[in-house]
Structure 1
Amino acid sequence: MKQFVLRVLVNALALWVAAWILPGMDINAAATTDAASGAGAGGGSETVGIVLAYLFIGLIFGLVNALVRPIVGLLSLPITCLTLGLFALVINAAMLALTAWLSSYTPVRLTIDSFFWTAVLGAIIIAIVSALAGGVVGVKRK
């Protein structure tokens, strides 16, 4: 359970860094929008809403990577071998796009402007930050 919580925290941190760097990637939540417009209690509730939004999207991203990515990776193994592993970037971007699509059915939404630039660059940033943060906190990959 501890590893799962750490993985969600690392995913949330990686998504935050990617959204901070890339202008075409954003996480919107109804609670953070209300707090920003003045309907909330103040600055503290806005920060809590944003942190919870990133944690929620990190949870969805972790579930997508745990359930869907192994199947897609196995099915795309021939093309991944032909491209010497570069197709793995497309798979990571597709998992990010799938997370954005799944989050459109929740109150917290991950929005991505374009697949090629935003999703691919976001997947690269998320992979780098996840590797660095996972190494620091000791998250084990299976």
Structure 2
Amino acid sequence: MTNFLTKTVVTAGALAVAVWLIDDITLTGDSTGRKAVTLLLVALIFGVLNAVVKPLLQLLSFPVVILTLGLFLLVINALMLMLTSWVADKVDLSFHVDGFWPAFLGALVITIVTWAVEMVTGSD
């Protein structure tokens, strides 16, 4: 349970960095506390989608992933962030990704930040 909570908080932090760095990824809210709760909820959605949908996409796109030497996984990560934005919109959370390229850059930022935090903390 601790690992799940840690990953959720790290993902929420990575999402916050993506919101901060990329103009077309937006998070709105009345207060800092509301934004933090929204980020945690979006991180939960992102985690669930990555656990359920992403493996299926990876399996279905396996030949393309092989042909591109794994670079297509970046596209899958961008699509997962766009799907997260769509789900967040459906459940009335104020998180939005406006287009593929911001999602692509956001997925890169989230991956790098998550990797860096895991390297520093030694978590898996």
CA distance in 2, matches of 1:10, 1:132: 10
* Pairing 1:11-30 to 2, within 5 Å after superposition: 11-28=11-28
Matched, 1:74 2:59: yes
1:15–1:54 Cα contact (<8 Å) kept: yes
Cα deviation, residue 90, structure 1: 0.3
Match of 1:129 in 2: 113
SS at match of 2:96: strand
Cα deviation, residue 106, structure 1: 1.5
CA distance in 2, matches of 1:124, 1:95: 12
Match of 1:103 in 2: 88
For residue 63 of structure 1, the aligned residue among 28, 48, 72 is 48
Question: Tell me, which stretches of 5 or more residues in structure 1 are unaligned?
Answer: 36-45
User: What amino acid is the match of 1:74?
Assistant: L
Q: Percent identity?
A: 41
TM-score under structure 1 length normalisation: 0.83
Match of 1:39 in 2: none
CA distance in 2, matches of 1:121, 1:103: 19
Cα deviation, residue 73, structure 1: 0.7
Matched, 1:139 2:120: no
Cα deviation, residue 109, structure 1: 2.9
* Segment of structure 1 superposing worse, 102-111 or 9-18: 102-111
User: What amino acid is the match of 1:137?
Assistant: T
Match of 1:5 in 2: 5
Cα deviation, residue 137, structure 1: 2.9
Structure 1 residue ranges, 4+ long, deviating more than 3 angstroms after superposition: none
For residue 74 of structure 2, the aligned residue among 86, 89, 101 is 89
SS at match of 2:95: strand
Cα deviation, residue 110, structure 1: 2.0
User: What amino acid is the match of 2:116?
Assistant: L
User: What amino acid is the match of 1:75?
Assistant: L
